[in-house]
Amino acid sequence: MSHQSDLIATDIHAYLEQHENKELLRFITCGSVDDGKSTLIGKLLYDSKMIYEDTLATIRKDSAVHGTTGDDFDPALLTDGLRAEREQGITIDVAYRYFSTAKRKFIIADTPGHVQYTRNMATGGSTADLAVILIDARHGVATQTKRHTFITSLLGIRHILVAVNKMDLVDYQEEVFDRICSDYKDFASRLDVPDLHFMPLSALKGDNVVNAGENMPWYEGKTFMGFIETVYVGSDRNLEDFRFPVQFVNRPHLDFRGFCGTVASGIIRRGDEVIVLPSRKTSHVKSIVTFEDELEEAFSPQAVTLTLEDEIDISRGDMICRPGNIPRLAHSFDATVVWMAEQSLVAGKQYLFKHTTKMVTGTIETLRYRIDVNTLHREDAPALQLNEIGRCSISLDEPIAHDGYRRNRASGAFIVVDRLSNVTVGAGMILNRTTSDEHRDHWEDQYSESLHQQDSIVTTDQRSARFGQKPVTVLLTGLSGAGKSTLAYATERRLFDLGRVATVLDGENMRRGISKDLGFTAQDRSENLRRSAEVARLMNDAGLICLCAFVSPQEEVRLKAAEVIGPEQFLVVHLNAPLEVCRKRDQEGLYPQADSGDIANFPGVSATYEAPQSPDLVLATHELSAEQCVDKLMSLLVEKGVIVG
């Protein structure tokens, strides 16, 4: 075989070791019908002498019956093996072929070009590193070319090679190639395609497939084989975010409990601290076990068994990650869904959602819009039909630990399964946290005229006399890491010890319940504080002191909260620790995620924090101890007449 290492004939053990350590490239061929996808793969393997003699003899024989090249050898038959494919001369199902050269190992997915089988193309591209989009030089950029380009971008395939095929049928004209490249760039400029390449070739004649063709001297780039051997994909793998979905708990005897699975992303080393979601229990990695031996470290996509120092209840579907870098744990999110079933998507119907190793029930609550893949325009639609793509709002019965698909393909993807037939009906890609640009601003909403204020027969003065305090809401605001929650709970403890009645509203706790549908845009932060202000007002109506710990970065929103609660019983305490101090206190890795763009609109990094203009108290939490800060807070409550000192 050509392109193989000479070691295969001289030192088989050295060859096998070399082969084991080769980098693997997965790529797909896609494009419109009859653009030559199957022919390209067949010619690639034929010219590089990677087809076995018996297979080659069979294809030569079948070419006379099913071939589309007369009596000549038809390379497309190497991948088009189904009877229906050969009868119609089209690709229907995804065909996988494996081969290797001295430089790399390859898995090719030959995907169908017919509109009816778009779902098969999406399936084949779900694990690909590179997409080869073929274009017939006679027809140029077709509708299906745009459709497949959009899907490859949607699937997060970073590298695209546009192969302008059948150049022999347009007399190898450079002008035709240049025009097609220009048309394609105009369309692709609206998509996220970070690495785009173009190549002219004739798959049937072999020009620029394995060997450079003599008919296109104006093209000075690499051949197709040269390109796939050298395209750099090493930086595509996510080695930053450690994600380990537990697939199986291995308990062979009393002295061993291991958690088996595949490292979805990141790196883990023996002795590293880990956290288990959703329980949030922490431990350290005791060992990393494989079938052959124990490892010092493991990385994506290795299949390993982890043992931990502590006995923790962990089961299939749980996620092991690092304490300073955890995915979002939520019931609801927005996702782009490719619908893959004859029956249309039904909003509100219960489906099964398989995410990593976890299967949960849930619903597609809302179809926000359908995407016209030809124009990339958004369209209102009541449902998604077969092969259509839309943005949906998903609500699950259990929370899942997930990332945005752009950040992490492994933990950002899911499939939708019909509960009755157990058939996969859709594939989804979770959007990043900032998904809620359609949220309304409810601050100015008016109550319905049919609703009336209901007053308690217990008066405010009676409650104050009973509790020995006046109701008030204290908003502790500052950057993440300034100490808001710490001081809120410490003050609550002090008040409780004095016989007072107080409660804490913590921003994170609100997001786990009342505000679990909200993201972290400015609008969502505003809505979170609005809901919390309404809760705080009810607490005050019951005579309680309410301590609220929120970032609340906008002065305008804080003033609106004061209006809801009442300015006379609303106090603002500003925790003004410097940004560098807050970064050092960060235990959840929020600032690094904000720096990398994983968390958008993060106050102090990618969004502005507006300090209160007239706070009732300013606490320099980087200079004062927690005890001193609580003392100052208590003094403020005494000064305002909330409690009697």
Alpha carbon of 6 to those of 61, 228, 267: distances in Å?
Answer: 32, 20, 34
Closest CA to 288 of 302, 261, 306: 306
pLDDT at position 606: 80
User: Tokens in use for 547?
Assistant: 């301590």
CA distance 164 to 366: 40
pLDDT at position 82: 40
3-state helix, strand, coil in the chain (%, to 5): 30, 30, 40
Q: Taking the CA atoms of 202, 205, 210 and 213 in sequence, report the sign of the dihedral they define.
A: negative
CA distance 102 to 411: 33
Contact yes or no for 259/246 (Cβ under 8 A): yes
Architecture per CATH, domain 7-230, reads as 3-Layer(aba) Sandwich (3.40)
**Bridge partners for 391 per DSSP:** 336, 369
Per CATH, domain 460-639 is 3.50.50.60: no
Closest CA to 491 of 536, 534, 548: 548
- The reported pTM is 0.61
Contact yes or no for 172/180 (Cβ under 8 A): no
pLDDT at position 352: 96
pLDDT at position 99: 81
Q: Which residues contact 142 (CB under 8 A, 6 or more apart)?
A: 31, 32, 135, 136
Q: Which residues contact 428 (CB under 8 A, 6 or more apart)?
A: 335, 336, 337, 338, 353, 392, 394, 413, 414, 415, 416
Letter string b/e over residues 203-226, b meaning 16 or more CB atoms within 10 A of that residue's CB: bbbbbbbbebbebbeebeebbbbb
- Determine the 3-state secondary structure of 363 from DSSP: strand
Alpha-carbon Rg for the chain in angstroms: 31
pLDDT at position 1: 44
- List, for the chain, all residue ranges whose pLDDT scores fall below the cut of 50: 1-2, 81-92, 434-439, 448
CATH 2.40.30.10 domain range(s) in the chain:
243-321, 328-430
Q: Top-level CATH class of 328-430? A: mainly beta
pLDDT at position 437: 43
CA distance 369 to 435: 13
CA distance 583 to 577: 10
pLDDT at position 117: 62
Q: Top-level CATH class of 243-321? A: mainly beta
pLDDT at position 126: 79
CATH 3.40.50.300 domain range(s) in the chain:
7-230, 460-639
